[in-house]
Structure 1
Amino acid sequence: MDSPILLLEHTDQATKQMLENVRKRKVKFDKSKRLHTISIWATLVLTSIYFIYLYFTIAKLYSYSFAAMFSAFVNDSNNLSFLVVTVGLYGFMNVLKQKKEKKEKEFHELRCEIVDRSKDLWKKEMEWKNRHIVFEMMKTNYDINLYHEKK
């Protein structure tokens, strides 16, 4: 368990465990989001490089005839390799997007559960009055908003 969560006062062990779980899911979601963003940029860069390559090796040299362009495209083995890698990277980007959305959904479901059950988690009068300290700590340390359900 992370030290700021362990050091919380007026919070029982079960609530601390829930806060730790939401922190872990936030870390997984952020990592997945970062990987997806990197894959988007890699796909865009590789696609741009591929189109520039096609322009200089085929379009510019054989622009007088579509048949000549097509023939040159098919005869160059680099085109197939480049195309397979580009399409593969696009597919990988989509897989990462699905994983990111799944992790985001899991994170927000657990976060909303904590928000919904806050009256049960901080039952005692003293705990209820000091819950804002927990919410503020989660917001400042981990960027997790427990004040309301909306993102």
Structure 2
Amino acid sequence: MHGQWGVKVEYHHFLLDEVGQVIINDLKKLKKKHQKKEAEVKFYKGALVLIAALFLAYVLFFTVLPYRFYYGSMISVLINNVYHYVFVGVLATIHYRLKFLDKKAEKAEKEYNALRSEVIQRTEELWPEGEKRDNRHRFFREMKEKYDINLYYEND
């Protein structure tokens, strides 16, 4: 929808009262927070896999292959190489950071879904009878297209 000067105006400014706008703005913030946490989790999972692969390649090329016929020497190199401990420490740190971020992402998702469910359940209050209620499908479509927030039904 365009205003009189060609400025794009979002439907929900016309279709919701102030309380509804606050709730929708909070919903957008929670969706953004959830997406940010999911992106962080994805990044750390990738980093964990990459560093684990590098560690395995390092051990293979610098320990296993050169000492493949000398098991005692191989074990000695595995135990006495400080880089192995650094790799293991980095992997452990990333693993625990990933667990922490995964819990944060799960919490952000629960908060977002709780508020989204509340909006869906309070549809009658937010869009009372009349013109606003008749045009709420435009608002729902805008929220789905622009913000990937589904307000049509609770199970997303």
The 5 Å alignment of 1:93-108 reads: 93-108=98-113
CA distances 1:115-147 after superposition (whole Å, capped 9, x unpaired): 011011111322211111211111111110000
2:36 counterpart of 1:31: yes
Q: 1:146 aligns with which of 138, 141, 151?
A: 151
Unaligned 5+ runs, structure 1: none
Query: Which 5+ residue runs of structure 2 have no aligned equivalent?
Result: 1-7
Q: Which amino acid aligns with 2:19?
A: A
Identity, % of aligned positions: 27
2:80 — aligned with what? Answer: 75
The AA in structure 1 aligned to 2:60 is: Y
Return the TM-score normalized by structure 1. Answer: 0.92
Give the CA deviation at 1:10: 2.8
Structure 1 segments of 4 or more deviating over 6 A?
none
Q: CA deviation at 1:6?
A: 7.9
- 3-state DSSP class of the match of 2:90? helix
* Paired residues of 2:15 and 2:139 also in contact (CA < 8 A): no
Name the count of aligned residue pairs.
149
CA distance in 1 between partners of 2:106 and 2:69 (Å) = 47
1:134 aligned to 2:121?
no
Query: Distance in 1 between the 2:88 and 2:115 partners?
Result: 41
**Matched-pair contact (CA < 8 Å) for 2:116–2:151:** yes
| RMSD between aligned residues | 1.6
Post-superposition offset of 1:114: 0.2
TM-score, normalised relative to structure 2: 0.89
Pick one of 4, 18, 27 that aligns with 2:23.
Answer: 18
